[in-house]
Structure 1
Amino acid sequence: MIAPIFAVCAGSPRVRALLGSDPLRVYPFGMQDDAVVYPYAVWQNVTGAPENYLAQRPDADAFTLQVDAYADTVDEVIAVAAALRDAIEPHAHITRWGGQEKDPETKRYRYSFDVDWIVKR
């Protein structure tokens, strides 16, 4: 009932090089701690549903996730988003390149995208 985004990202040497490995700074939305270390990424389920059939139980679940990368510089946030993209695309489909912005309060940069993921049960 959860897309394997953390495991997929943790398996990428490029993601680990940018986002660390102990801990890997890829968090479910709202789970990063107060001592924020940049860069990092968060993800959240936007929608999710089982693949329902009339004659049998579902054999897969479909998810739409929003992924947001945060970093100190534009170049760094783009590098993190590209590393996440390259790790995720062999397993799921990126369906939207979202907003890129500088947070007025933190002065950090954000890059957002959506992923559609079908997970076999």
Structure 2
Amino acid sequence: MKYPPIFQVAAADPAVTALIGQNPVRLYLFGMAPDKPAGTYCVWQVINGSPENYLAGRPDVEAYSLQVDVYASTAVGARAAGQAIEYAIELVARVTSYNGETRDAETMLYRYSFDVDWIVQR
């Protein structure tokens, strides 16, 4: 499995790094974020995927659906970072749904969530 290059695309966009940092870029694969990240941050995960199967030969691409969740101390901050990430990746992937906005009861951080479909060359 080859992961979609969401980190590389987002980290190359100055509007994204202005909101989620440059060193480090606070865009984490699920389960890899620090316990208490400083500032606005984003986590992503593969929610489904499959190879493009053919009758003859090996698949040359894989299609993935990702869930992207942005967390910030304010709703405005979560939306701004989420929309910056959407804008950065929409030329190479497709935003397919918006999953609503919530506030985590434990951390009190605001969450902006969306899904992305991404086709990756093998």
Do the two structures share a fold, i.e. TM-score over 0.5? yes
TM-score tier (shorter): over 0.9
User: Could you say what secondary structure the match of 1:66 adopts?
Assistant: strand
Mapping of residues 58-73 of structure 1, within 5 Å: 58-73=59-74
Q: Tell me if 1:38 matches 2:39.
A: yes
Distance 2:73 2:29 in 1: 20
Paired position in structure 2 for 1:21: 22
Q: Tell me if 1:8 matches 2:16.
A: no
Distance 1:55 1:36 in 2: 47
User: Could you say what secondary structure the match of 1:79 adopts?
Assistant: helix
Distance 2:10 2:75 in 1: 21
Identity of aligned residues (%): 51
CA deviation map 1:22-68 (0-9, x unaligned): 11000001101123112000000001111010112111010000000
Which blocks of at least 5 consecutive residues in structure 1 are unaligned? none
Q: Number of aligned pairs?
A: 121
Paired position in structure 1 for 2:119: 118
- TM-score for the superposition, normalised by structure 2: 0.96
Which blocks of at least 5 consecutive residues in structure 2 are unaligned? none
Superposition CA RMSD, Å: 0.8
Paired position in structure 2 for 1:95: 96
